[in-house]
Amino acid sequence: MKDIVEKLSGELHELKSRNHFRRLPAAGDENGAEKLIDVCSNDYLGIGITLPAADILKGFAAGSGGSRLLTGNKTIHEEFEKEFSSMCGAESGLLFPSGYQANLAILSTLPGRHDTVHYDERVHASIRDGLRLGFARTMKYPHQDYSSLEKNLKKGKGIQFVVTEALFSMEGDLCELEKLSGICRIYDANLILDEAHSTGLYGKDGSGWADECGADVFIRVMTFGKAIGRMGAMLVSPDVVKEYMINKARPFIYSTAPSPVLVALIREGVTLAAGRYGMAEIRPLRKRLSEALGSGIPGRFRDDDSPIVPIMIPGNVEVRKVAADLIRQGFDVRAILSPTVPAGSERLRIALHSYNTIDEMQSLGKNLRGL
């Protein structure tokens, strides 16, 4: 045991020396007297901070009792999969405990040893980890550089897949999905879209960026831990993909099913998001918030209907200092450090919420300008 303790301690010391060491932030207390203005959480619509309706949870067990292939498959799982996949215009849905697990399952299972997966260089770590677990050849292309993607597609072997995010979590930009979908059609590539940060914010009733664009997408990962305010994810796909995943995807086969009470909470969150999306002022409000924030920081406003605004402050030490200063000013903001993002592109990731105000964003912009 002494050897491993020394090894781990040495690696942690190295992280500290390079300012890459991470600590958990102070635990939040929803009942605490002091409240910071939330400009960092993924709860874009404010659903996660609301208490669920008590009757939503009645009659549902706290635990599922096993994997879906053993004792964990319940009526509510199947009902919700049918409801949500139908809302998304897909044949089938398959529920996972998290978006991370869904991406691991898809990318380690669907592409085979003789196939090629092309992925945007800024995709989430779960996509990269899923590819590491699989056997397919992988080819990275520069962020949203579709001419480079086309060059790679010409070199690809076997069945080809293209993997990207709908709304990039760190960059805050939306993918050019109609253009990308068209390229995939030309090269007969299967498009896999991670809708983690776009579920609930775009499309009819919050059904996602693919529905908003009317784009042809092979499969999508829709997650419930951001705008839906809950946790978990669903793969929406053709029937044959769901059947294949049930039979082949180890992260699905060997995991305990999400509890029925959690599925009831997710279902309620989807209903709330659909109602809030229907409010015509939500998206104009997001634009006004972005304009208000940008008014204090010249050149920061982007008219792209995104709730994520990155503020670049290169260097882990520097961005931590700015975040600490803003917290003292009453803003709940977190530094995004390398290696989570490439060295030199450290940033504050500002999230705009339906419950933020114009005054708050103007104040944040002024504070940022003064730091």
pLDDT of residue 33: 37
Band of residue 281 on the pLDDT scale cut at 50, 70, 90: low
Residue 68 CA to residue 225 CA, distance in Å, equals 21
pLDDT of residue 342: 92
- Higher-pLDDT residue of 27, 332: 332
pLDDT of residue 278: 57
Band of residue 330 on the pLDDT scale cut at 50, 70, 90: very high
pTM exceeds cut of 0.75: yes
Tokens 């809708």 found at? 195
Per-residue tokens: 243:
């059947």
Ranges of H-type helices in 18-165: 75-87, 99-109, 125-133, 146-155
Residue-wise pLDDT for 166-191, tens only, equals 999 999 999 999 999 999 999 999 99
Percent of all residues in the chain with a pLDDT value above 70, rounded to a whole number = 93
pLDDT at 356 exceeding the cut of 70: yes
Tokens 């993607």 found at? 149
Per-residue tokens: 311:
């503020």
Average pLDDT of the residues of the chain: 91
- Higher-pLDDT residue of 21, 154: 154
Tokens 């945007």 found at? 120
**Pick among 3.90.1150.10, 3.30.70.20, 3.30.70.1150, 3.50.50.60: CATH of 21-49+280-370:** 3.90.1150.10
Kindly provide the residue ranges of all beta strands, DSSP E only, lying in 258-368, ordered along the sequence. 308-312, 331-332, 335-336, 347-351
| 290 close to 297: Cβ distance less than 8 angstroms | no
pLDDT of residue 295: 65
Per-residue tokens: 124:
């989430």
Q: Which of 92-101, 310-319, 345-354, 362-371 has the lowest mean pLDDT?
A: 362-371
Tokens 């706290």 found at? 62
Residue 141 CA to residue 118 CA, distance in Å, equals 7
Residue 222 CA to residue 275 CA, distance in Å, equals 18
Residue 256 bridge partners (DSSP) = 67
Residue 219 CA to residue 184 CA, distance in Å, equals 13
pLDDT of residue 34: 55
pLDDT at 32 exceeding the cut of 50: no
Mean pLDDT of 103-129: 97
Percent of all residues in the chain with a pLDDT value above 90, rounded to a whole number = 77
Question: Within the chain, which residue ranges are assigned CATH 3.90.1150.10?
Answer: 21-49+280-370
pLDDT of residue 294: 79
Residue 283 CA to residue 155 CA, distance in Å, equals 41
Residue 87 CA to residue 93 CA, distance in Å, equals 10
Residue 348 bridge partners (DSSP) = 311, 335
Residue 321 CA to residue 306 CA, distance in Å, equals 26
pLDDT at 351 exceeding the cut of 50: yes
pLDDT at 69 exceeding the cut of 50: yes
pLDDT of residue 31: 47
Written out in words, the top-level CATH class of the domain with range 58-276 is alpha beta
Residue 333 CA to residue 309 CA, distance in Å, equals 12
pLDDT of residue 292: 85
Q: Which of 1-5, 79-83, 118-122, 171-175 has the lowest mean pLDDT?
A: 1-5
Residues in the chain: 371
Which of 230, 267, 227 has its CA nearest to residue 354? Answer: 227
Per-residue tokens: 160:
């080809």
Spatial neighbors of 343 by CB under 8 A, at least 6 apart, are none
Mean pLDDT of 303-329: 90
Residue 294 CA to residue 309 CA, distance in Å, equals 9
- In sign, the C-alpha dihedral spanning 76, 79, 82, 83 is negative
Band of residue 277 on the pLDDT scale cut at 50, 70, 90: low
Spatial neighbors of 78 by CB under 8 A, at least 6 apart, are none
pLDDT of residue 194: 98
pLDDT of residue 249: 97
Residue 193 CA to residue 207 CA, distance in Å, equals 13
- What DSSP designation does 204 have? G
Question: Within the chain, which residue ranges are assigned CATH 3.40.640.10?
Answer: 58-276
Band of residue 279 on the pLDDT scale cut at 50, 70, 90: low
pLDDT at 323 exceeding the cut of 50: yes
At 336 the three-state DSSP class reads strand
Residue-wise pLDDT for 221-276, tens only, equals 999 999 999 999 999 999 999 999 999 999 999 999 999 999 999 999 999 998 87
- Higher-pLDDT residue of 35, 144: 144
What is the CB neighbour count within 10 angstroms for residue 27? 5
pLDDT at 367 exceeding the cut of 80: yes
What is the CB neighbour count within 10 angstroms for residue 31? 5
